[in-house]
Structure 1
Amino acid sequence: MDTALNLAKSISSPVYEYEYSICTLVTRKVEYEEMLDSFLLKGFDEKSCEYLFIDNSSSCSFEAYKGLNQFLQQAKGKYIILCHQDIIIHDHDRNHLSERISEIEKKDPNWAILANAGGVNFKWIATNLTQGSGNIIKEKRLPLRTKTVDENFMIVKNSANLALSHNLSGFHLYGPDLCLIADVLGFNAYVIDFNIIHKSNGNPDASFYRLRKEFIKKYNYAFRSRFMTTTITRYYISGNWFTAWFCNLQPIKFLVRQYYKAFKPKKLYVLDIKQDA
């Protein structure tokens, strides 16, 4: 028995090698170098921070969903900053950011994502950044809990173990995707007071609207109402309280079971694996 126990390893809470991992998809290296210089100037030193990038300057090695998943899997920082190459850390510095994180952590330890812009609800958008033109957009009431975040600058808590959708791809809407994943896992997102320069005002081109359609289709299916079966119980889940109550009544569940018995036999779910000759 002692020999067997010696083979096993006890684990504890993770210890991160860095405080921050700054991760960027790069298409223009000169612009990326300008971004790096601004981080270093504002206190994000190379000893306590790691800088990771994916080189898309010659060809597209990774689109955003797969590329950022690589960052989320490989980053060794306690906080993972996913940001565009066309930002400049300008008004605020590392100490200011650390203070904002500490404030959120004390009030809501279940946070997973922080950003400088996002959609608070179906009516309100919160923005706290400086545009490339020099126009400053300043949200007065911060921090604000938000439903989505803008992708130009996102801070992800590494211990939240987030990932982006496997069945979406492209360079748009990965901020909202990450927020939805976090929400399902029980985490919250906030817009905070960390003003930076973002040179671009966004680019809702044809690829954006194509991905928007795919995004809606994916989550309409992912959040569909459904009957669930485990080894010891059966139940129905729905976002509508009446439907959830009605479909969890025993007679309704009995009728649904008979439907599956008659029209959905187990053979329909068998994965057909062909054996090599």
Structure 2
Amino acid sequence: MSNPVNAKEIDQIKHNYQFAVCTLVTDLSEYQGMLKSFASVGFSEENTQFIYADNSKSNKLDAYQAIRKFLTHSDANYIILCHQDILLNFDDKEKLESELRELDQIDPNWGLCGNAGYIDFKHYAMRISDPHGENINVGNFPAQVKSLDENFIIVKKESALSISKDLSGFHLYGTDMCIIAEILGLRSYVIDFHLLHNSGGNINKSFEVSKKELLNKYAKALSNKYIRSTCTKLIITNISWLNTLFNRSIIYSLRKRLESFSSSHKKYK
């Protein structure tokens, strides 16, 4: 093939780094400590892209805005979204690589993973040290989850995962990304990667605002829908057998007759 421009076949496109470590920073000195801990266990400028959003003087970006930029502009196979107050005091880069290889073998359709999350309303998986406890090890790893804690999340670049444009703030973006991943046919996991998180979390007024926004967004986004495309009609509910029933041709035929009858009734009324 002769190209007048420098075009590349899709399979030829490669990322320049193995990892991108992306952080929203409010304290530059604490961030430097985090960077030193990454360097001490094998993450270098040769294999890792380090990116941060600087909120040290003012909140230029909220978490959703920053993560959208991180996901778009990072140039790595795996994008690590992490808090500035984590330290890799236990497991190293080789351990993380091993966990990701295992996850690829178990489920090639994983989209993101982390170190803490809930499987359902009652059961959780967690591998962390933080103010709530040292060397917390709960779950059979890798454990598939419905949500992930925001202190440490890894996104597989090729999954093309994104984050909601219509949400804001600094909370629950891990949950938002897990929901989006599920809609895209991807899955989320907690893996066996032990690190230190120097914060136990902060549930404050802004958290409650973020929670309300997320609930309202998905109440609308996941509500029952009637959609017509250029080639078919779709009635979508959250009950599979109703979808089968409502989308049978006889239902559309009946609906069309009812609409025709209603129109004629109004005309001669």
TM-score, L = length of structure 2: 0.91
1:243 maps to what in 2? 242
**Structure 2: gaps (5+ residues):** 264-269
Deviation track 1:135-168 (CA, whole Å, cap 9, x = no partner) reads: 2211252110111111000000011111110000
2:89 maps to what in 1? 90
1:217 maps to what in 2? 216
Work out whether residues 133 and 199 of structure 1, in 8 Å CA contact, stay in contact via their aligned partners in 2: no
Identity %: 36
Deviation track 1:204-239 (CA, whole Å, cap 9, x = no partner) reads: 111111111110110111111112211111121221
2:22 maps to what in 1? 23
Equivalent residue of 2:125, what SS?
strand
Equivalent residue of 1:208, what SS?
helix
Matches within 5 A, 1:124-273: 124-132=123-131, 135-254=134-253, 256=255
Q: Which amino acid aligns with 1:144?
A: A
Work out whether residues 132 and 200 of structure 2, in 8 Å CA contact, stay in contact via their aligned partners in 1: no
Equivalent residue of 2:200, what SS?
coil
Equivalent residue of 1:148, what SS?
coil
Work out whether residues 117 and 125 of structure 1, in 8 Å CA contact, stay in contact via their aligned partners in 2: yes
1:33 maps to what in 2? 32
1:268 maps to what in 2? none
Matches within 5 A, 1:78-117: 78-117=77-116
Structure 2 distance, partners of 1:79, 1:259, is 52
Structure 1 distance, partners of 2:254, 2:167, is 36
Aligned-residue offset at 1:255: 5.5
Structure 1's 33 and 134: CA in aligned 2 closer, same or farther, altered over 3 A?
A: farther
Structure 2 distance, partners of 1:112, 1:215, is 20
Q: Which amino acid aligns with 1:212?
A: K
Deviation track 1:72-128 (CA, whole Å, cap 9, x = no partner) reads: 000001100000001000110000000000001111111110100001112111111
TM-score, L = length of structure 1: 0.88
1:275 maps to what in 2? none
Structure 1's 38 and 224: CA in aligned 2 closer, same or farther, altered over 3 A?
A: same
1:12 maps to what in 2? 10
Aligned-residue offset at 1:7: 5.2
Q: CA RMSD in A?
A: 2.2
**Structure 1: gaps (5+ residues):** 264-277
Work out whether residues 38 and 88 of structure 1, in 8 Å CA contact, stay in contact via their aligned partners in 2: yes
Work out whether residues 18 and 48 of structure 2, in 8 Å CA contact, stay in contact via their aligned partners in 1: yes
Work out whether residues 119 and 147 of structure 2, in 8 Å CA contact, stay in contact via their aligned partners in 1: yes
Q: Which amino acid aligns with 1:230?
A: S
Aligned-residue offset at 1:8: 8.2
Q: Which amino acid aligns with 2:162?
A: A
Deviation track 1:190-214 (CA, whole Å, cap 9, x = no partner) reads: 1000010001111111111111111
Structure 2 distance, partners of 1:138, 1:206, is 30
Work out whether residues 125 and 139 of structure 2, in 8 Å CA contact, stay in contact via their aligned partners in 1: no
Structure 1's 156 and 236: CA in aligned 2 closer, same or farther, altered over 3 A?
A: same
Structure 1 distance, partners of 2:181, 2:168, is 18
1:57 maps to what in 2? 56
Work out whether residues 132 and 197 of structure 1, in 8 Å CA contact, stay in contact via their aligned partners in 2: no
Structure 1's 75 and 256: CA in aligned 2 closer, same or farther, altered over 3 A?
A: farther
Deviates more, 1:234-243 or 1:215-224: 234-243
Equivalent residue of 2:138, what SS?
coil
Equivalent residue of 2:29, what SS?
helix
Structure 2 distance, partners of 1:246, 1:98, is 47
